[in-house]
């Protein structure tokens, strides 16, 4: 464990320089004006900068991981490191924000997702865990293909499974759990949950992510962006139905569906969106 915290912390100036090198490597991969040798040199330099930034912030991952329980510490650190890597890839060195402030949100996301998967798996019979994982993967693929939430029947067809089994897994997944659900000796589900009160760094990072979402929506027409924002509740966490949006704009339900489908098709082709959801 000590080897993870032996790397010296970075100054704000070092973070900016490393961030610039990482960005240069990303841009170089798309720059057709560079020779192959120039591109390879810049990409290799960016890779070194990325590794430096990750290693210098591993102590932050360890510090955050120690606040959680429910999985072995080494697993929590591994999941937190995945979040750290995403933070390094997404960090905008021009915004004047300390990297650790931004990275905290991503690290907590990585750990929290692993703990959620763990608690979800615990409540299912062993023979259904594999089915649940397959359903989850198929659901993500179909949401992209269809531009909406797939039905149990569509999932069953894609996976060649009985509809009843898919419905059973979906019901189990949505079933709420008590925080006192036992997970092992002297351990309850509540032990998996860190303090829910948002800290300032999380709020700042969330605001930055919101700016990223707004930037992606600006690639759409004004009407497409408005429809998608209403459909998914991006502005007020209140998703609207097609009928509700149609009433709002004075358009038919089918016309709203067409606008949504067109906008979603553009987003699925967008490199900006791929960066956000990867």
What CATH number does the domain containing 79 carry? 1.20.120.1810
Tell me the residue range of the domain where 74 lies: 2-95
Q: Are residues 243 and 171 in the same domain?
A: no
Residue 212 lies in a domain: no
Using only C-alpha atoms, what is the Rg of the chain?
22
Q: Are residues 87 and 14 in the same domain?
A: yes
Q: Return d(Cα 32, Cα 77) in angstroms, integer.
A: 39
Residue 86 lies in a domain: yes
Q: Are residues 13 and 89 in the same domain?
A: yes
- Number of domains making up the chain: 3
pLDDT for 42: 96
Q: Are residues 88 and 12 in the same domain?
A: yes
Q: Are residues 172 and 233 in the same domain?
A: no
pLDDT for 187: 46
Residue 107 lies in a domain: no
What pLDDT tens digit does each residue of the chain (278 aa) get?
Answer: 566 667 888 998 999 999 999 999 999 998 889 999 999 999 999 999 999 999 999 999 999 998 887 788 888 898 899 999 989 988 888 887 789 888 988 898 888 877 776 665 555 665 666 777 788 778 877 776 776 778 999 999 988 889 988 888 887 666 554 444 444 444 454 554 444 444 444 455 555 555 666 777 888 899 998 998 888 777 776 778 888 899 999 999 999 999 988 888 887 776 555 444 44
Q: Are residues 35 and 87 in the same domain?
A: yes
Q: Are residues 226 and 172 in the same domain?
A: no
Length of the chain, in residues: 278
Q: Are residues 235 and 167 in the same domain?
A: no
Taking the chain, what is the end-to-end CA distance rounded to the nearest angstrom? 29
What is the CATH number for 165? 1.10.10
pLDDT for 233: 76
Residue 151 lies in a domain: yes
pLDDT for 121: 57
Q: Are residues 137 and 76 in the same domain?
A: no
Q: Are residues 73 and 18 in the same domain?
A: yes
pLDDT for 5: 65
Q: Are residues 80 and 164 in the same domain?
A: no
Residue 70 lies in a domain: yes
Q: What residues contact 61, with CB distance under 8 A and at least 6 apart?
A: 4, 77, 80, 81, 83, 84, 107
pLDDT for 174: 60
pTM score: 0.50
pLDDT for 57: 94
Question: Which residue pairs from 236-243 have beta carbons closer than 8 angstroms and sit at least 24 positions apart in sequence?
Answer: none
């Amino acid at each position: 464990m000590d080897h993870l915290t032996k790397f010296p912390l970075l100054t704000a100036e070092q973070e900016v320089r490393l961030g610039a090198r990482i960005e240069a490597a990303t841009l170089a991969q798309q720059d057709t004006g560079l020779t192959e040798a120039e591109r390879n040199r810049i990409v290799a330099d960016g890779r070194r900068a990325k590794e430096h930034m990750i290693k210098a912030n591993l102590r932050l991952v360890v510090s955050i991981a120690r606040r959680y329980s429910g999985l072995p510490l080494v697993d929590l650190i591994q999941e937190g490191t995945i979040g750290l890597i995403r933070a390094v890839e997404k960090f905008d060195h021009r915004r004047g924000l300390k990297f650790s402030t931004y990275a905290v949100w991503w690290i907590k996301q990585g750990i929290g997702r692993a703990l959620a998967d763990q608690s979800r798996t615990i409540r299912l019979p062993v023979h259904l865990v594999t089915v649940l994982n397959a359903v989850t993967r198929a659901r993500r693929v179909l949401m992209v293909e269809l531009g909406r939430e797939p039905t149990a029947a569509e999932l069953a067809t894609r996976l060649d499974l009985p509809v009843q089994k898919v419905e059973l897994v979906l019901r189990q997944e949505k079933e709420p759990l008590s925080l006192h659900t036992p997970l092992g000796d002297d351990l309850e589900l509540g032990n998996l949950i860190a303090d829910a009160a948002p800290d300032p760094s999380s709020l700042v990072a969330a605001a930055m992510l919101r700016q990223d979402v707004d930037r992606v929506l600006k690639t759409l027409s004004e009407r497409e962006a408005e429809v998608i924002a209403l459909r998914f509740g991006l502005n007020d966490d209140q998703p609207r139905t097609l009928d509700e949006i149609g009433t709002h704009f004075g358009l038919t339900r089918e016309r709203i569906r067409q606008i949504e489908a067109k906008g979603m098709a553009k987003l699925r082709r967008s490199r900006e969106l791929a960066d956000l959801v990867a």
